[in-house]
Amino acid sequence: APSDPTSPGLAFGAPFYTEADLTGDGAVDTDDLSLLVAAVGTTSTDAGWSDVAAADLDGSGTIDVTDVAALSQRMLYDDGAFTLLEASTVDIQKAMASGELTAVELTQMYLDRIEAYDDQINSIITVNPHALEIAAELDKERAAGGPRSMLHGIPVIAKDNYNTVDMPTTAGCTCLQANQTSSDAQMIENLRADGAVILAKANLYEFAVNTTTDSSLGGTTTNPYAPGKTSGGSSGGSGASIAANFAVIGLGTDTGGSIRIPSSWNALVGVRSTVGLTSRDGIVPLALSQDTGGPMTRTVTDAAIALDAVAGSDPEDAATALTDSRRPASYTSFLDADSLDGARIGYDPTTIGTNATAQRLFADAVADLEAHGAEVVPLAITDMATIQTWSSGSTNEFGHDLNAYLTKFAAPAVPYRSLQDIVASGGDYLPALAGTLRTRSLVTQETYDAWRTQHDGEIAFGRRAIEGTMDAHDVDAIIYPSTSGPTGYSSGSNNRLSPFSALPAVTVPMGFASAALDGSTSDGAPIGLEFIGRAYDEGTLLGLAYGYEQGSLNRHAPALFPELEG
């Protein structure tokens, strides 16, 4: 087995699977993968291309799914020429370490893609005017003393509700257009400290209120796999932009589903971590009983690397008090391609839903998990029906929490200091939100206090119900389709389990609705498989997600946004 190239020693250039360049063109790439996929089921001596023995990567005598997984793995750690499309942090660090690529060049390549393609999906609100300068500084620093971390020089796109000192933070609302904050959100500060380049701010559903992506400032973001259809939301700008390869890592926030729904519909890995693993300080809130920020990435490896950077305690967010004692030295230590072997995973049949695509893909996922050694057991989540009756905190908490944010962070140029002021503007926001903002502006402190007492109790109950179910059935995680609404682009209600228990959940690409895959059909968009687990057990979830990802390889780039020429 290969050494783990994601371990902190960065074992770049490890001599594993060098044979995987089946076409002999000097790179391990999708051409090699196509050849290998076509040869699955044959033996290494009758596959029919020149270097046949090479294709049997694990030496089992048969070309099988393990070889496909190995080749895909090899693509991530390719020693050949660097290619931007689907590049991971690992590819990039290798190319930068060898001198083949600089952070300035990489940043420019992503800026070129945004310029060439964002008109079609409208995912970006602001491009960082300082991105190239920041990258140039980081290149100098690398040349002088080496990289700070796996994120040195890595471009990140943040949802436009994370404060950034070099771009306004608007939550998509024209009312916050002038909100140039004087500090970064804690998660942004953590990423910059590790050497990341905050490349752009992404569109969202205004104030993160709904699960599409529409805002008065940013307009509507659409799906890179299904032109004209929604990218999901509310972190749909982050989802669409990362799917379209505008940067390496996206940041979203999730109150009721807003990381996982757009990750599901953009073939991304999305991490909604335990509430309290990451600081919310400096993020425009929706409901602090449920809000959590986290990464949205093309691979589980990138998600683990990003989570290492963003997690951490912060005196400004009391919920993070336990974080430092609960998180591992690195989430990358859980990235074991054999993680499914011997794992026990539960599913509640009532979560599969009636959507034929979700049903089909979920059945395939269960078969894949079993094929890689997991035991998948049906169970009934305790008090599932009760949990499903609860309301999101957004109705009663938004005014209270937004006002605290505005008091603490709003730039002097912002003419509003409260939700009441914004409502009184009579229209400096998305017209569709008029009623919602007004209702939420009328919630009194007494109502808020009573609600928090009730809802904090509900969330503690939800946590006991789910962790209790897991203990009773001795499972490592519970799975369900991330989105399972009855029709296309309807989320269903599985997304409520994680926010109503504060437990972590990770979504991974589970496949596409249509064999036509992209562009040609409106229902080609992908769906994710979600793993929910015990509090602060993100490591186990990422490990299982990695095993599933490597064994199923469901993600591909959207065909409409190919590598740019030259």
Q: Shortest distance, CB of residue 283 to ligand GLN, whole angstroms? A: 11
Position 526: which residue type? P
229 is catalytic: no
Q: Shortest distance, CB of residue 498 to ligand GLN, whole angstroms? A: 10
- Whether 152 and 138 have beta carbons less than 8 Å apart is answered as yes
In terms of CB distance, is 92 or 157 closer to ligand GLN? 157
Q: Shortest distance, CB of residue 161 to ligand GLN, whole angstroms? A: 9
Q: Confirm or reject binding of residue 402 to ligand GLN (CB under 6 A).
A: no
Q: Confirm or reject binding of residue 190 to ligand GLN (CB under 6 A).
A: no
Of 211, 230, 301, 323, the residue at the interface with ligand GLN (CB under 6 A) is: 211
Chain positions 229 to 268 lying near ligand GLN, rule: CB under 6 A, are 234, 254-258
Q: Confirm or reject binding of residue 213 to ligand GLN (CB under 6 A).
A: no
In terms of CB distance, is 386 or 520 closer to ligand GLN? 386
Chain positions 15 to 54 lying near ligand GLN, rule: CB under 6 A, are none
Give dist(CA 551, CA 319) in Å, integer: 36
Q: Confirm or reject binding of residue 394 to ligand GLN (CB under 6 A).
A: yes
Q: Confirm or reject binding of residue 494 to ligand GLN (CB under 6 A).
A: no
Q: Shortest distance, CB of residue 211 to ligand GLN, whole angstroms? A: 5
- Whether 173 and 215 have beta carbons less than 8 Å apart is answered as yes
Q: Shortest distance, CB of residue 484 to ligand GLN, whole angstroms? A: 16
- Closest-approach residue to ligand GLN (CB): 256
Q: Shortest distance, CB of residue 142 to ligand GLN, whole angstroms? A: 37
Nearest by Cα to 478 from 369, 354, 356: 369
- Whether 313 and 343 have beta carbons less than 8 Å apart is answered as no
The values of phi and psi at residue 160, to 5°, are -80, 30
Query: How long is the chain?
Result: 566
234 is catalytic: yes
Q: Which of 234, 289, 501, 552 is catalytic?
A: 234
Give dist(CA 317, CA 320) in Å, integer: 6
# residues contacting ligand GLN (CB under 6 A): 12
Q: Confirm or reject binding of residue 172 to ligand GLN (CB under 6 A).
A: no
Q: Confirm or reject binding of residue 511 to ligand GLN (CB under 6 A).
A: no
Nearest by Cα to 308 from 338, 322, 328: 328
- Judging by beta carbons within 10 Å of its beta carbon (0-12, 13-18, 19+), is residue 241 exposed, middle or buried? buried
Specify the DSSP element, H or E, that contains 532: strand 526-532
Give dist(CA 63, CA 67) in Å, integer: 6
Distances (CA, A) of 453 to 254, 311, 450: 21, 27, 5
- Whether 274 and 503 have beta carbons less than 8 Å apart is answered as yes
Q: Which of 258, 263, 313, 394 is catalytic?
A: 258
Chain positions 274 to 293 lying near ligand GLN, rule: CB under 6 A, are 286
14-21 long-range contacts, CB within 8 A, separation 24+: 14/77, 16/74, 16/77, 17/57, 17/70, 17/71, 17/73, 17/74, 17/77, 18/79, 19/51, 19/53, 19/54, 19/57, 20/54, 20/57, 20/70, 20/71, 20/74, 20/75, 21/54, 21/80
Q: Confirm or reject binding of residue 270 to ligand GLN (CB under 6 A).
A: no
Q: Confirm or reject binding of residue 297 to ligand GLN (CB under 6 A).
A: no
Give dist(CA 494, CA 68) in Å, integer: 31
Region binding ligand GLN by CB under 6 A among candidate stretches 37-45, 58-66, 96-104, 205-213:
205-213
Q: Shortest distance, CB of residue 390 to ligand GLN, whole angstroms? A: 11
Give dist(CA 430, CA 532) in Å, integer: 34
Of 164, 215, 264, 392, the residue at the interface with ligand GLN (CB under 6 A) is: 392
Q: Confirm or reject binding of residue 202 to ligand GLN (CB under 6 A).
A: no
Q: Confirm or reject binding of residue 164 to ligand GLN (CB under 6 A).
A: no
In terms of CB distance, is 251 or 557 closer to ligand GLN? 251
Binding-site ranges for ligand GLN (CB under 6 A): 208-209, 211, 234, 254-258, 286, 392, 394
Enumerate the active-site residues: 159, 234, 258
